[in-house]
């Protein structure tokens, strides 16, 4: 049931706009509060009166029609749990991808910080246009959920891919997000390989692309969670991004985010060592055939987080899960954080992963084989084994990192 859920449906100017009337009814039958915003051209295909009667709310069209002195694009964004844009035209998709806000719908999307589902519908040749595909890829990378159109006979007389996907698919995707247990939580996720300076022009690092950590952050965000991504790679996303460089910087940032977190997922490849005395100036080449660098261990961030969690559990203020507050001054203490580590191995994957799991003390450990080119560094695919605290193991066969991320989130939310 979707009782109490607030859904915003954005309708663009395409022939499939008439189908959205039934989608509104589907959500209303399940108790959701539905609001509708249309582009001006959408009203050429469906009337404002019809949409108002079905949704039992006023329909937004004009950007500066402001009731109660509230900017509409901000109030719509603030008062909604999820936004669905269907049918999404090539024009509106391109505007959103470029950050153009020239009508109420595009202005709302720009201000929207919650899950957005985009269901495109257009002529098959428009769908295949490289510019449209590039814009869709851009939106997907920013955390928008794209429900690809279906193939069939199109209103323009062509036959091909471009029909709006089924209403059931749109409904199921939105309902899954709105009713998921994995929703409304605070996720802190790390990504990328840390960089340890040798001098101003050289450094020690690794081949990590950050794709797995970013995929996890994207999926957590799509499920309606508060996400903070701590990353060493440049990335543009609608959720909070904190850019760091070294292991020390990552440790400091993760520690500062620890208190508010429900889930901490350490997917970054943190350098084990750093240069003990990095040079403030470029190290010049000499006549010697060798150069010696003295390395020192970096802090074990994952182990430190697990120890901090245990210390909180053993503190006098700690509470059991069934209690609400500690005895001391009624202070609420969070003791149910889930800490997830990653283990990248090139040999003896499970044996090394189990040993690391025992040493770190985390709740879950994700083991992946970096020796395989089809799932290793920089690949868009992965295959992992999830080790749980009770000793159980779940293997996720090779799939896209997005699919792997989705399954990991399901397991750690069981």
The CATH number covering residue 196 comes to 3.40.50.10300
Same domain, 82 and 214: no
| C-alpha distance from residue 144 to each of 182, 218, 280 (Å) | 17, 9, 43
Predicted confidence (pLDDT) at residue 74 exceeds the cutoff of 80? no
Predicted confidence (pLDDT) at residue 247 exceeds the cutoff of 60? yes
Stretch (H or E) spanning 173: helix 167-179
Residue 343 a catalytic site member: no
Task: Give the per-residue pLDDT at 404.
Answer: 94
Q: Which two tokens stand for residue 66?
A: 């402001």
pLDDT band at 233 (very low <50, low <70, confident <90, very high): very high
Q: Which residue has the higher pLDDT, 97 or 62?
A: 97
Q: Is 250 inside any structural domain?
A: yes
Cis peptide before 87 (omega within 30 of 0): yes
Which among 255, 250, 176 has a CA at the least distance from the CA of 219? 176
Same domain, 196 and 146: no
Same domain, 105 and 231: no
| C-alpha distance from residue 174 to each of 60, 82, 238, 379, 402 (Å) | 21, 8, 19, 29, 18
Helix-strand-coil split of the chain, %, nearest 5: 35, 25, 40
Predicted confidence (pLDDT) at residue 361 exceeds the cutoff of 50? yes
Average of per-residue pLDDT across 152-177: 90
Same domain, 255 and 336: yes
The residue among 147, 179, 211 that closes a domain is: 179
Task: Give the per-residue pLDDT at 377.
Answer: 83
| Eight-state DSSP code of residue 9 | E
pLDDT band at 242 (very low <50, low <70, confident <90, very high): very high
The residue among 179, 204, 237 that closes a domain is: 179
Considering the chain, what is the average pLDDT of its residues?
89
Same domain, 42 and 142: yes
Same domain, 17 and 84: yes
Query: What's the number of domains the chain is made of?
Result: 2
Which percentage of the chain shows pLDDT scores above 70?
92
Q: Is 1 inside any structural domain?
A: no
pTM over 0.75, yes/no: no
Q: Is 291 inside any structural domain?
A: yes
Predicted confidence (pLDDT) at residue 321 exceeds the cutoff of 80? no
Predicted confidence (pLDDT) at residue 297 exceeds the cutoff of 80? yes
For residues 265 and 338, what is the distance between their CA atoms, to the nearest angstrom?
8
- Strand ranges in 248-380 using DSSP code E only, listed in sequence order: 263-266, 273-275, 295-297, 338-345, 364-369
For residues 203 and 31, what is the distance between their CA atoms, to the nearest angstrom?
57
Average of per-residue pLDDT across 57-73: 72
Residue 106, domain CATH: 3.40.50.1950
For residues 301 and 306, what is the distance between their CA atoms, to the nearest angstrom?
9
Domain hosting residue 308, numbered range = 186-412
For residues 15 and 36, what is the distance between their CA atoms, to the nearest angstrom?
17
Of the residues 21, 38, 101, 156, which is catalytic? 156
Which of 1-10, 143-152, 305-314 is predicted with the least confidence, judged by mean pLDDT? Answer: 305-314
Are residues 107 and 74 in contact, defined by beta-carbon separation less than 8 angstroms? no
364, β-bridge pairs: 340, 388
Which of 18-32, 84-98, 313-327 is predicted with the least confidence, judged by mean pLDDT? Answer: 313-327
Q: Which two tokens stand for residue 276?
A: 């003990």
Same domain, 156 and 252: no
Backbone angles phi, psi at 39, to 5 degrees: -75, 155
372 by DSSP, 3-state: which? coil
Predicted confidence (pLDDT) at residue 68 exceeds the cutoff of 90? no
Task: Give the per-residue pLDDT at 322.
Answer: 44
DSSP conformation letters of 100-165: ---SHHHHHHHH--S-EEEEE---HHHHH-HHHHHHHHHHHHTTPEE-PPEEEE-TTS-EEEEEPP
Task: Give the per-residue pLDDT at 316.
Answer: 59
Q: Is 254 inside any structural domain?
A: yes
Average of per-residue pLDDT across 383-398: 92
The residue among 179, 204, 219 that closes a domain is: 179
Q: Is 270 inside any structural domain?
A: yes
Predicted confidence (pLDDT) at residue 388 exceeds the cutoff of 60? yes
């Amino acid at each position: 049931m979707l009782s109490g859920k607030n859904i915003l449906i954005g309708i663009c100017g395409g022939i499939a706009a008439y189908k959205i009337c039934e989608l509104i009814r589907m959500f209303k039958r399940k108790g959701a509060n539905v609001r509708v915003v249309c582009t001006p051209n959408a009203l050429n295909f469906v009337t404002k009166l019809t949409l108002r009667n079905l949704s039992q709310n006023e329909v937004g069209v004009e950007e500066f029609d402001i009731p109660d002195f509230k900017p509409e694009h901000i109030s719509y964004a603030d008062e909604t749990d999820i936004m669905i844009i269907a049918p999404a035209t090539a024009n509106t998709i391109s505007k959103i991808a470029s950050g153009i806000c020239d009508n109420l719908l595009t202005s709302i999307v720009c201000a929207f910080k919650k899950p957005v589902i985009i269901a495109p519908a257009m002529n098959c040749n428009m769908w295949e246009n490289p510019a449209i595909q590039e814009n869709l890829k851009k939106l997907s990378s920013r955390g928008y959920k794209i429900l690809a159109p279906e193939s069939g006979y199109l209103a323009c007389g062509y036959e091909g891919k471009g029909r709006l996907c089924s209403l059931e698919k749109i409904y199921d995707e939105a309902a899954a997000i709105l009713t998921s247990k994995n929703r409304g939580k605070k996720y802190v996720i790390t990504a990328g390989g840390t960089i340890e300076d040798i001098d101003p022009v050289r450094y020690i690092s690794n081949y990590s692309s950050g794709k797995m950590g970013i995929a996890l952050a994207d999926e957590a965000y799509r499920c309606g969670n508060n996400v903070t991504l701590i990353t060493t790679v440049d990335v543009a996303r609608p959720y909070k991004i904190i850019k760091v460089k070294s292991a020390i910087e990552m440790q400091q940032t993760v520690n500062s985010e620890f208190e508010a977190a429900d889930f901490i997922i350490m997917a970054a490849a943190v350098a084990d060592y750093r240069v003990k005395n990095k040079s403030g100036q470029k190290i010049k080449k000499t006549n010697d055939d060798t150069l010696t660098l003295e390395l020192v261990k970096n802090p074990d961030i994952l182990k430190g987080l697990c120890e901090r969690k245990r210390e909180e559990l053993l503190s006098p203020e700690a509470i059991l899960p069934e209690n609400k507050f500690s005895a001391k001054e009624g202070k609420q203490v969070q003791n149910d954080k889930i800490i997830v580590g990653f283990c990248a191995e090139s040999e003896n994957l499970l044996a090394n992963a189990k040993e690391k799991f025992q040493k770190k003390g985390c709740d879950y450990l994700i083991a992946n084989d970096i020796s395989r080119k089809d799932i290793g560094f920089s690949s868009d695919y992965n295959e992992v084994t999830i080790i749980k605290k009770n000793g159980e193991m779940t293997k996720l066969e090779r799939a896209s990192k997005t699919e792997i991320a989705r399954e990991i989130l399901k397991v750690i939310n069981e």
